[in-house]
Amino acid sequence: MQQLNETHDPSLRSWVDSANDPAGDFPIQNLPFAVFDHGLGAEPGVLIGDRVLALRSAAEAGLLPVKGCFGAGTLNAFAASGREVWSGVRVALSRLLRHGSEARTAAQGWLIPAKDVQFRLPMAIGDYTDFYASIDHATTVGSMFRPDNPLLPNYRHVPIGYHGRASSIVISGTSIRRPCGQQSPPDSDPGAGPKFGPCTMLDYELEMGVYVGVGCELGETIPIARARDHIFGMCIVNDWSARDIQKWEYQPLGPFLAKNFATSVSAAVVSMEALLPYAAPARPRTAGEPAPLAYLSDADDQASGGIDLSLEVLMRTAAMRERGESAMLVSRGSFASMYWTIAQMLAHHASNGCNMSTGDLLASGTISGKDPRSRGCLLELTWDGVDPATGKPKPRKPVAFPSGETRAFLADGDEVVIRAYAEREGRPRIGFGECRGIVLPAKV
């Protein structure tokens, strides 16, 4: 297990003044990685306060212990270099950017205001897998379709996931086109047959993702005790979902066109080392729940495999944006409530000999809690249960905005903003920035 080191010292301050804001996401204890373009092509950087440090330039100037990792327009070469290199670069960056650094004058030449750059996808993502790791989400959604048996028996034994579409992953800030697809016949006329047209039940999904750093060859596995050695870092994920299309197609094989039209990720990749002070016990199994099978069991992962992240979803309608109003908080959740840890997800993914590659993205699935206010999608957030008199679902209880507007699902022009951060007494807040997207009308 990794240990805390000098980079985690809560008393550290940076000579980049904005990094010392206690409400900011990017203090010197964080140092998340990103890829940006300042007009000369994409290159790797590290976020510090409201600035981004150009890593290729800093490395070529001799300010970092490695040079060849930052030559391309992605973080893949660096991510493939392994935990010792990641940690060594983190220590060097911390010493470079902290108060009293002898290299401050040199480093200042490679700092750029973040507002002046365009962020790009941080990794070349070859494969994308979306899990279903929140038991509260699985139970709530299951109760909508199987009220007498909401959670299928395999859920507590196996981390459920499906393979998504890497080509439609986009960086935060990219607008999302409403998809078209087949929708089921209306309940009032099941013999009418399906129709094809714009999605009418567009949704967001609050998720977190992990990027694979060091992969494994086809036929090899990744033991759970070493799974974190393979994980480069974490990001925010919004796996946009077309619920009406999903309702029609998800049986018998699961998600397809309802999911693969767009997935948004945050620009910031927060390293697992930065998150060490915010580790938490994995969600304990209650009486009557089966213990994980041996290949998913590890004492260290059980003791500290969870991560105490606070998660927020905000929405802003087009009318709110035109009036200059801020996005409204619609839900708040916690990553610490996940049923399966990220190590268990990765170990399970590779347990059949599936080869994992640098840059592969594994998402958690929608993150929800027991409290209705912690539900991570509109499908759950606006669900009002079943009418006991009729046995049918009650009308949805839409999100209400101060302007009088309401939303059961997303309308064209709506903006969704997801934020994630970690904070603990005696420790600074570290964050992931945001994952943002605006819905565009369908092309018909």
Phi then psi for 364, rounded to 5 degrees? Answer: -80, -20
Q: Please provide residue 79's backbone torsions phi and psi, each rounded to the nearest 5 degrees.
A: -65, -30
Give CA–CA dist 98/95, Å, rounded. 6
Which candidate in 137, 230, 348, 349 is catalytic? 137
Residue 137 annotated among the catalytic residues of the structure: yes
* Neighbouring residues of 265: CB distance < 8 A, sequence distance ≥ 6: 121, 122, 169, 170, 171, 172, 209, 235, 236, 237, 238, 361, 435
Tokens of 314: 């905000």
Token digits of residue 59: 């490395």
**What is the DSSP annotation of 132-189?**
---HHHHHHHHHHH-TTS-S-TTTTTS--EEE--GGGEEETT--EEPPEEEEPPPTT-
Measured CA to CA, the distance from residue 130 to residue 111 in angstroms comes to: 35
The 3-state DSSP class for residue 98 equals strand
Q: Tell me the C-alpha distance between 210 and 222, whole Å.
A: 15
DSSP one-letter string for 325-380: PPPEEEEEEEGGG-SS-HHHHHHHHHTT---B-TT-EEE------SSGGG-SSHHH
Q: For the chain, what's the residue count? A: 444
DSSP SS3 for 439: strand
CA neighbor of 130 nearest in space, from 363, 376, 345, 366: 363
298/56 Cα distance (integer angstroms)? 38
- Of 378, 364, 314, 361, nearest to 335 (Cα)? 364
**Alpha-carbon span 160 to 362, nearest angstrom:** 12
Distance CA 383, CA 418 (A): 20
Distance in angstroms (rounded) separating the CA atoms of residues 440 and 227: 39
Please tell me what DSSP assigns to residue 391: S
Residues marked as catalytic? 137
